[in-house]
Amino acid sequence: MYHEEFVYNGFTGSNLAVDGAARITSTGLIELTNDTARVKGHAIYPSPLRFRHSPDGMVQSFSVSFVFGILSSFGDIRGHGFAFFISPSEDFTEAFPIQFLGLFNSLNNGSSYNHIIAIEFDTIQNIEFADIDNNHVGIDINSLNSLKSHTAGFYSNGKNGTFINLPLIGSGPIQTWVEYDGNTTQINVTLAPLAMGKPAKPLLSSTFNLSTVLKEKSYIGFSSSTGLSTGHHCVLGWSFGMNGPAPLIDYTKLPKLPHLGPRSPSKLLEIILPIASAVLVLAIGTTAVILVMRHLRYKEVNEDWEVEYGPHRFTYKDLFHATRGFNSRNLIGIGGFGRVYKGIIRTSKTEVAVKRVLYNSEQGIKQFVAEVVSMGHLQHNNIVKLFGYCRRKGELLLVYDYMENGSLEKYLYGEEGRTTLDWGQRFKIIKGIASGLLYLHEEWDKVVIHRDVKPSNVLLDKEMNGRLGDFGLARLYDHGTDPQTTHAVGTIGYLAPELVQRGKATTLTDVFTFGIFILEVTCGRKPMTEDNQGHQVMLVDWVIQNWHSDSLLDTVDIKLQSNYDINEACLALKLGLLCSHPFPDARPNVRQILQYLDGDVPLPDLLPAHFSFHMLTLMQNEGWFGSSAVSLYPSPSMPGMVRLSFLLKLLFSLALSLVSSTTDTGKDQFVYSGFSRSILDLDGAATITPDGVLELTNHTVHIKGHAFYPSPWLLRKSPGGMVQSFSVSFVFGMVPIYSDKCTDGMTFLISPTKDFSGAQASQYLGLLNKTIDGHKSNHIFAVELDSSQNTEFGDIDDNHIGIDIYSLTSTKSNTAGFYDDRNNGIFKNLSLVSHKEMQLWVDYNGETTQINVTLAPLRLTKPSRPLLSTTYNLSTVLEDQSYIGFSASTGPINSLYCVLGWSLGVNRPAPLIDIAKLPKLPHVGPKSRSKLLEIILPIATAIFIFLVGTTVILFVRRRMKYAEINEDWEAEFGPHRFSYKDLFHATDGFKNKNLLGLGGFGKVYRGLLSASKLEVAVKRVSHESQQGMKEFVAEIVSIGRLRHRNLVQLLGYCRRKGELLLVYEYMSNGSLDKYLHCEEDKPTLNWAQRFQIIKGVASGLFYLHERWEKVVLHRDIKASNVLLDSEMNGRLGDFGLARLYDHGTDPQTTHVVTCGQRPINNHADDSSQILIDWVVEHWHEGLLTYTLDRRLQCNYNSDEVNLALNLALLCAHPFCNARPSMRQVIQYLNSEIPLPELIPTNISYTVLGLMQNEGFDQYASLPSTVGSSGMTSSLSSGR
């Protein structure tokens, strides 16, 4: 029996025959291929081995073992594999690389004359060879279509024999055993990681008589190849045994696999890097990760304009955690501009609603600005409170008070699980919203026009009080200015006619929407509905129609089942009609509305008209009535004329819009400057991105994609005629994922079908397959843009353009480039795979049958000389009806083939593509490593250590200088928090020249905020005293959330260790007492200014007592606590002693306030005179006006003076039940109700006060005709 064996524990000094790219390295391993593309390499035992005893004998048993490794410079990028083979020849010069593994070519693959057996280790899936995957082992007989194959791996030797996958690339050294039994003709192939030992169960086992394949003498060896993707295929050891087992390979003597990838760092870097790493981990890991990454994760946007406004700013982190990461389970609705989430602020346990608005649209940012400016300052029982906000790049977040009962709309329209509202609740909500609108229109320091009053924007709190929300359309303007706007915004059905006609928003447009709101709440119907005939019915018209038919109450919501107050329902219906009157001058203002609802003033008579409000609106818009018309008179001839005119104008404008929006280009051309909203037929991996890029492939290997114009083109004038001239232009780009490599390419094509399901990917470009390539029945014309060289198709290189007819073997091709007209027509190469846009023109002349293909970089004019020019009669190729489009495919490297623009013209040039409108090519793949960083890093490490230390020291010192204190209780309140640094610079370091005065608890400084240029007053309070802390807490809680035109605004605060700082709005004219008690030669206030101040302070107190969500007792109303702004308006300030309590609770106090004593005048004889008694004394004598300030010099309104003095006496009455409420005070001052008659008494107010304190209430001589407000207040007056 013939025996022969050998073993190589490494290949140093061996005499193996190598060719192609193969070599034996200095370390002793066989490197079959390297990083060169499209090469092959072979390593062959130098002499042939006798596999038969005789030429006709049976092939003997043999056993082979070898250790190999496959490496890639680009991770798992593959190319293409290697094989152990037995062959009658050592000459493989005719073999192809790439998928043929250097063994066969396209002609002899599968031929029985090869007499070759091979074990392939394939790392690329080739569909033409029916590969099962891109990581398999196969037994090949004369062909690369494996006899049997299996995913690479091994079976464990345990009881279950579990299969374990083994990646061929990157798994390190792998040992393989190939065994053939000559008796049983069984072939076994076994794999395992090196040094593991041979598994008992082979990976592959097949029976095949090799006597029918192998020659008597044959060579054994290894073959490998690369394609466009490269790889290192290495053999470390090898043994062979004939008629016996292969000798064992000594693992300890094997060479090491080489390391691929970036070069090893320099010795200096190796020394410094460990030290630098420790510093970087400590410095960057702690500082950068904790500070920078934390900052970036919750990064926000803050602009100068936000500084002057006062809402509390939340951190994004707090809102993120409050809403559980904006979890969909916390989603409570979708508003006009974004989603709304329920959340719980962790620090205060407050339930909030967080509205998340996208920042991209101009509409979104306008809403945000409007809401922050308006709602951030608004405080009212019937207005949804804006706690604060947050701004990030790309999104806006508004934090509202959470209304647990949701919107009114859900109750009106019977959402399942919700009971309907009874009449009492509805009427209460109507009055509440009216109260809120009054605050917006008249009681705040700016007029706020809501513009969108409707049930979905009215939220219900836990007590079912209505609160007006969604100020996304709010617009602010100063009192007395003209509120012109440029857009009619709001909700259809609620828009006032003048707003639609002229785009002018006023308080009366809000009244209109409120009128519709009243009707909707009362009737339980939407503003616009459809009747049984499908006609649109407006709610206002429907109510008027029923009123005209004396059935007004039939419009009340049937769900109330007649359980309502008839008078209130009639009032609501008629008031709704009056408010929604089409003529603005006929509508009441909100103050009048409240008086009607409260029954203080009777509703004026309103008669139903024969015209619908809808028709009256049209008539007004057409100019039938003047804007001041109030009364409506029926005219039977008018409605028809109006409707006809309106319809004719509508149809005319619609026709114009249709004409202007349609462009008829005919069926001889089209142009796409980007593919957004285009209609193309796509299949496979093809997709159109949101920005309009046509991506034919994606990041997947071995896929194809197609995009076609949706309808076929008739390229012949008649069936069987000649193909007409046509011109095509398109802009494309090839985006590599790894380095500069792309596989395989793309084509522009004309085909009789859009069905390419049978086409293969990879080198077939999604057009053809191995069977039909070259068949004339294809009827395909294509221009290929090939980024991979395939020798089977005769490709000239891996960067070429080719004209393909029937086949991927190009009729003519050329390396990609252009002839530059700017440089005398010199040819310049272009790299197709460059991540740069290029433009291609394909022109066919139907008369001369000439095909021209021209390429150029984008924005370069079409070169005069084409890249390719050939003559071919396409009438012999194309069908009568053909589809045009693109095809692309990837091979072993995932690549992106994109089309950005496309145009075609038949019998005319292709239309110009608008380059300015083209989308950008996407950027993919890893970022290139900075060479500069590799050079500088060693030097920068030492500098970095020094800078980090210095920066930390400076940062700590700077932080200590401006250190602040922030406690949990502050989170639930809303004023803006200023940094101490800003306040320090605003007041020039709190210099004495900026000292305005000494307050009750600290010094007050004038300041100018650098960011907003806003003048402020900064009150600096000592932190040590308990008294100072109590004042601070009281002011933060009260002033920080109060907003009224007659209250001094607290813009914000700051807290440091040892001191508190309050930032107020600066009042340029100082306090009132400086004007009242000034020296004789100083200017004083005239009567009109004084009366305006009295009314203003009364309005502020009314807000504190009844309009805010809590009752606020000021306790220290005096002239020194009233500040005057630039327009001499009085503003009530100094809330240091304010105490808050909920509405309806008992406002008991525990301290006697010293500054609440009545003013006393000291005379020269040491006697004293109380101001109230002095005034009462003159009143008793009929000389009340003698008490008036003599500096007015009789320049005053006597009625107003008498009203003021009498009202002052009434308010200062010693018996609390005789005093009016602030609501009544306002009505007296506005002359809305007469002041009750007061009878002077001989007993002084001082004595009366003492009598009351002693229990003698029955001696009160002033009649108690004024209703009590039911609450206690400490009010004092200054003289």
Q: pLDDT of 522-537, one tens digit each?
A: 999 999 888 888 788 8
- 452 catalytic per annotation: yes
Average pLDDT rounded to a whole number, residues 29-58:
90
Residues 445 and 527 in one domain: yes
Average pLDDT rounded to a whole number, residues 876-889:
95
Residue 2's CB: how many other CB atoms inside 10 A? 11
In the chain, the number of structural domains is 6
β-pair partners for 1064: 1017, 1050
pLDDT of residue 126: 84
Residue 209 sits in a domain of what CATH number?
2.60.120.200
CA distance 316 to 301: 10
On whether residue 215 sits in a domain, the answer given is: yes
1260, pLDDT greater than 50: no
The answer to whether 344 and 322 have CB atoms below 8 angstroms apart is yes
Supply the mean pLDDT for the chain: 80
Name the nearest CA neighbour of 776 among 879, 652, 630.
879
Q: Which residues are annotated as a binding site?
A: 355, 1019
H or E element that contains 1007: strand 1002-1008
List of residues 6+ apart from 765 with CB closer than 8 A:
704, 744, 745, 746, 747, 784, 786, 808, 887, 888, 889
The answer to whether 701 and 882 have CB atoms below 8 angstroms apart is no
pLDDT of residue 71: 87
Name the burial class of residue 733, with classes exposed (0-12), middle (13-18) and buried (19+) by CB atoms within 10 angstroms of its CB.
buried
Residues 1043 and 1175 in one domain: no
Residues 798 and 760 in one domain: yes
pLDDT of residue 1148: 36
> Of the residues 253, 271, 291, which one is the last residue of a structural domain?
253
> Of the residues 200, 222, 253, which one is the last residue of a structural domain?
253
More confident residue, 435 or 653: 435
Residues 912 and 763 in one domain: yes
Among 305-314, 356-365, 647-656, 724-733, name the one with the lowest average pLDDT.
Answer: 647-656
| Percent of the chain's residues with pLDDT above 90 | 44
Residues 690 and 745 in one domain: yes
pLDDT of residue 1152: 29
pLDDT of residue 1139: 45
Q: How far apart are the first and last CA of the chain?
A: 135
Residues 394 and 424 in one domain: no
Residues 1054 and 1094 in one domain: no
CA distance 730 to 887: 13
Residue 932: pLDDT band (50, 70, 90) is low
pLDDT of residue 375: 65
More confident residue, 661 or 954: 954
Name the nearest CA neighbour of 1115 among 1081, 1078, 1147.
1147
Name the burial class of residue 547, with classes exposed (0-12), middle (13-18) and buried (19+) by CB atoms within 10 angstroms of its CB.
buried
Q: Which of 452, 510, 744, 804 is catalytic?
A: 452
Residues 424 and 398 in one domain: no
Residues 363 and 414 in one domain: no
Residues 377 and 432 in one domain: no
CA distance 577 to 544: 8
The answer to whether 1171 and 1279 have CB atoms below 8 angstroms apart is yes
Among 25-34, 441-450, 1142-1151, 1198-1207, name the one with the lowest average pLDDT.
Answer: 1142-1151
Name the nearest CA neighbour of 326 among 340, 313, 337.
340
Reported as a single tens digit per residue, the pLDDT across 1073-1119 is 888 877 656 667 899 999 999 999 999 999 888 888 778 888 778 88
766, pLDDT greater than 90: yes
638, pLDDT greater than 80: no
H or E element that contains 732: strand 726-736
On whether residue 1200 sits in a domain, the answer given is: yes
- Whether omega before 1257 lies within 30 degrees of 0, making that bond cis, reads no
pLDDT of residue 631: 35
On whether residue 657 sits in a domain, the answer given is: no
Average pLDDT rounded to a whole number, residues 673-692:
94
Reported as a single tens digit per residue, the pLDDT across 445-470 is 788 888 889 998 899 999 999 999 87
pLDDT of residue 1080: 58
CA distances to 107, 362, 748, 799 from 815, in Å: 26, 48, 17, 6
For residue 778, give its domain range: 673-917
158, pLDDT greater than 50: yes
Average pLDDT rounded to a whole number, residues 1182-1188:
82
488, pLDDT greater than 90: no
On whether residue 796 sits in a domain, the answer given is: yes
> Of the residues 600, 622, 644, which one is the last residue of a structural domain?
622
Average pLDDT rounded to a whole number, residues 1152-1177:
57
Among 461-475, 959-973, 1029-1043, 1259-1273, name the one with the lowest average pLDDT.
Answer: 1259-1273
The answer to whether 70 and 168 have CB atoms below 8 angstroms apart is yes
Residues 721 and 786 in one domain: yes
Residue 978 sits in a domain of what CATH number?
3.30.200.20
On whether residue 1026 sits in a domain, the answer given is: yes
CA distance 120 to 142: 12
Reported as a single tens digit per residue, the pLDDT across 210-267 is 999 999 999 999 999 987 777 889 999 999 999 999 999 999 999 999 877 555 555 6
On whether residue 1110 sits in a domain, the answer given is: yes
pLDDT of residue 628: 37
On whether residue 653 sits in a domain, the answer given is: no
Among 264-278, 851-865, 1138-1152, 1203-1217, name the one with the lowest average pLDDT.
Answer: 1138-1152
Reported as a single tens digit per residue, the pLDDT across 606-621 is 766 544 555 455 545 5
The number of residues making up the chain comes to: 1279
Q: Which residues are annotated as a binding site for ATP?
A: 355, 1019
Residue 1175 sits in a domain of what CATH number?
1.10.510.10
Residues 85 and 95 in one domain: yes
807: DSSP letter: S
On whether residue 286 sits in a domain, the answer given is: no
| Percent of the chain's residues with pLDDT above 70 | 74
